[in-house]
Structure 1
Amino acid sequence: MTVKYTKNFLDKIEDLFASSEYILRYEKGNFKSGYCVLKENKIVIVNKYYTLEGKINALLDIIKELGFSPKDFSDRKLQDLISELQQTELKL
């Protein structure tokens, strides 16, 4: 799967977090990687000043870090998206 840097694709990734047990927030901060994952509180914070491309790349990194699995989601479209994202490798 090729990563599409569009608002629609960002919305799909945000839907993954909305359906998961993690809360996604966009806030300002000086995170070294551009994001922060609070695993104990199940909160993901992404730098709100990132570009669309930066937000998508950060969220894809977080998804891989958290190890989301298609079995974690009941919606078939989200399961398919996770499966495709697991096969995607970012080229920066």
Structure 2
Amino acid sequence: MAVKYTKHFLDKLENLFSASSYILRYEKGNFKSGYCVLKDTKIVIVNKYFPLEGKINALIDILSELNLEPSEFKEKTNQDFLNELRQTTLKF
């Protein structure tokens, strides 16, 4: 799957987080990687000053780190989207 750096693609990623047990927040901070994950409280924080491309890349990195299972999602569209993202590799 090709990563599209659009607001619509970012919305789809955000919807994936909202359907999961993790809370996604955009906050200002001094994150070296652009995000931090608080696994005990299931909160994902992304630097709100990141550009669109940085936010999308950070969310994709986080999703691969969290190892969410498609079966955890009720909606088929979220399951399919997560499966497609798993096949995606970011090239910098």
Please indicate the TM-score interval, normalised by the length of the shorter structure: over 0.9
Give the alignment's TM-score, normalised by structure 2: 0.98
Matching residue of 1:42: 42
2:69 and 2:83 map into 1 onto residues whose CA distance is 8
Q: Does 1:25 align with 2:15?
A: no
1:34-91 deviation line (CA, Å, top 9, x unaligned): 1000000000000000000000000000000000111110100000000000000000
Aligned residues: 92
* Root mean square deviation, CA, Å: 0.5
Unaligned runs of 5+ in 2: none
Unaligned runs of 5+ in 1: none
The 4+ residue runs of structure 1 with deviation greater than 3 A are: none
Q: TM-score, normalised by structure 1?
A: 0.98
